[in-house]
Amino acid sequence: MNIMSLFGWRYHSPIARFAAFAMAVLISSSPALGQEIREAVGKGDLVAVDALLKGNPALVFTKDSHGTPLHVAAMTGHKNVAALLLANRADVNAADKDGWTPLHWAADRGYKDLVALLLADSGDVNARSNDGETPLHLAVRSMRPGHKDVAALLLANRADVNAADKDGWTPLHFAADLGDRDVEELLLAYNADVDAKSHGGFTPLHFAVAEGFADKAELLIANKADINAVNDRGETPLHVALKGRDDLVKLLRQYGGHE
């Protein structure tokens, strides 16, 4: 009998289950054994992936520096292959070398249907990468087609709108820095902290002003951003505008901004 058939959990003995798990770990520790399935997943070859898993169920757990086969499915957008892997007990919350889960990858790439699939299989909507980024951070900053819809889906599934990464950036900081008004509005509708401060004490308004996004800055002000918030260098948004953003100087002074 193929010893990997033990991984089918046909035995009720705890010892047998442990032996099956140990064998799965042993097999998954060899990158060479997982190369074929990762290549098939990357191509979206559902038939090949299914055949490989039937011959060796533990291949679903193989892992290299880029993650598991499910990571590959998430980054390449192959929803049907991802569904097959999940049906074969793929770890939906496995992390790659950067701490990204499959949900991070799907969110970054703007694959809404795949994000929905992973969330339905208990993907951690607030999982943190090594840099402290959640899938929502990645959806916001990716700027890929569909990223707003992905952000909306994550928020509807209780993503932390005010999660801060290792630099203290919230998703609203990214939206303000990138000048994405639609996503800014979405985050504010979910009660994003308009005055959240990054490391260094910068608010989203500081960022919008620094990048010259007048309409985005005005949106933040309309949502009661502190127009005179001070960063760790003692700079208000007006200080930032005075460094070459003349169009924003007038706007900020109009709303009571001062140095």
| Domain extents in the chain | 1-73, 74-254
52, amino acid identity = L
Q: Give percent of the chain above pLDDT 70.
A: 87
Please tell me the total number of residues recorded for the chain in this structure: 259
pTM score, two decimals?
Answer: 0.87
Which is more confident, 246 or 172?
172
Identify the bridge partners of residue 145 per DSSP, sorted by sequence position.
none
Instruction: State the average pLDDT over residues 106-117.
Output: 97
39, amino acid identity = E
Q: Which residues, including other chains, have CB under 8 Å from residue 106's CB and lie 6 or more apart?
A: 74, 75, 77, 114, 115, 118, 135, 150
83, amino acid identity = A
Instruction: State the average pLDDT over residues 163-172.
Output: 98
- The CATH classification of domain 74-254, taken from the options 1.10.10.10, 1.20.120.530, 1.25.40.20, 3.50.30.30: 1.25.40.20
Instruction: Examine the pLDDT at 140 and tell me if it is beyond 90.
Output: yes
CA angle 38-42-43, nearest 5°? 120
Instruction: Examine the pLDDT at 56 and tell me if it is beyond 90.
Output: yes
Which region, left, alpha or beta, applies to residue 131 given φ > 0 means left and ψ of -120 to 50 means alpha? alpha
Say how far apart CA 114 and CA 44 lie, in whole Å.
13
Q: Give percent of the chain above pLDDT 90.
A: 77
